[in-house]
């Protein structure tokens, strides 16, 4: 069974203080690893998809990386508007649940001005 574990559960940063969020996963065959951002009262907003170990993607202050067992979401010089819950999810290759996402518990990020 697919498992996704995110750490830390909550992270408080000062504006400009860079840090990283971790997503550890166990899956029989990885089709893709996804990062989403979720603001209170809203649905998840897509950030990145990573498909193979060694892959990296960047968007503004965010950079996502992938190894065979985990992914990191690096946040460089964060701003208060980066405050949100960040969700990691994996999608397995093949099987009867094509397209199904298994989510981690999320990391609640708070950036103080």
Partner 1 sequence: SAVISQKPSRDICQRGTSLTIQCQVDSQVTMMFWYRQQPGQSLTLIATANQGSEATYESGFVIDKFPISRPNLTFSTLTVSNMSPEDSSIYLCSGDRGGATEAFFGQGTRLTVV
Contact set with partner 1 (CB under 8 A)? 34, 36, 41-46, 49, 51, 87, 89, 96-106
- Least distance (Å) from partner 1 to the CB of residue 34? 6
Q: Of 59 and 79, which has the nearer Cβ to partner 1? A: 59
Beta strands in the chain, from DSSP E residues, in sequence order: 3-7, 10-14, 19-26, 30-38, 45-50, 56-59, 62-66, 70-75, 84-92, 101-103, 107-112
- Least distance (Å) from partner 1 to the CB of residue 13? 21
Question: Residue 73: which of 29, 111, 32, 107 has the closest Cα?
Answer: 107
- Residue 81's H or E segment, with its range, is none
- Least distance (Å) from partner 1 to the CB of residue 18? 25
Q: How far is CA 74 from CA 22, 39, 65, 71, 99, in A?
A: 9, 18, 8, 10, 26
Q: Of 32 and 61, which has the nearer Cβ to partner 1? A: 32
- Least distance (Å) from partner 1 to the CB of residue 53? 17
């Amino acid at each position: 069974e697919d498992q996704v574990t995110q750490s830390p559960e909550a992270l408080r940063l000062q504006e400009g203080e860079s840090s990283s969020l971790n997503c550890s996963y166990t899956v029989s065959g990885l089709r893709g690893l996804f990062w989403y951002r979720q603001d209170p009262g809203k649905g998840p907003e897509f950030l990145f998809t990573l498909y193979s170990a060694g892959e990296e993607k960047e968007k503004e202050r965010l950079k996502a990386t992938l190894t065979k067992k985990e992914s990191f979401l690096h946040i460089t010089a964060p701003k208060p508007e980066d405050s949100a819950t960040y969700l990691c999810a994996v999608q397995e290759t093949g099987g009867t649940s094509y397209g199904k996402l298994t989510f981690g518990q999320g990391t609640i990020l708070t950036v103080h001005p």
